[in-house]
Amino acid sequence: MTSQLNVDTIVDKAGSGGTNVKIGNTSTYVSDGGNVTQNTVQGLAKNWLNMNAGTSITDSFNTSSVSDFGTGDHGVGFTNNMSNANHSHVGSTIKGAGAPSSSNVGLVTMGEGATTSGYGVGTVANATNAADRSKIYTAVFGDLA
């Protein structure tokens, strides 16, 4: 027998408004069109990072450290490890503040040196030369350990 719970708000026992909701790895959601279901946990970013050149973290999630190995070469450590080194990475960068232009667009290369505890981030200018970028943005998808 299946059941359905319909509520407007979930609150803690004290009624203060806050709550912790835990969902299992098999939790699914229905697509906007209602025709497909997706695994909720699989679709969440397990790490994201907003950093300046060097090791200055502006904001992050599940990031324990950032290392600067030289011009355009960084390493990122996870607070909570991934289950394997086959996680997927995305990234972008700009040279400086303001709207991207041909003079400040860069490229982020990801995945070099990926392990269960972190990944490498390389940044280049004009798609050829390693260069430090003033803003670097990354995200990682995969399975946590």
Beta-sheet strands, E only, within the chain? 28-30, 37-39, 47-51, 57-61, 63-70, 73-78, 88-94, 106-110, 118-125, 129-130, 135-141
| Distance between CA atoms of residues 112 and 115, nearest Å | 9
pLDDT band at 105 (very low <50, low <70, confident <90, very high): low
pLDDT digits (tens, 9 = 90+) for 18-63: 777 777 888 888 888 888 888 888 889 999 999 987 789 999 999 9
pLDDT tops 50 at residue 99: no
The predicted structure's pLDDT at residue 104: 57
| Distance between CA atoms of residues 89 and 77, nearest Å | 13
The predicted structure's pLDDT at residue 96: 59
In this structure, what token pair is assigned to residue 33?
Answer: 């069109």
Q: What is the pLDDT of the chain when averaged over all its residues?
A: 84
Phi, psi of 56, deg, nearest 5: -85, 105
| Rounded average pLDDT over 118-139 | 84
| Distance between CA atoms of residues 75 and 32, nearest Å | 37
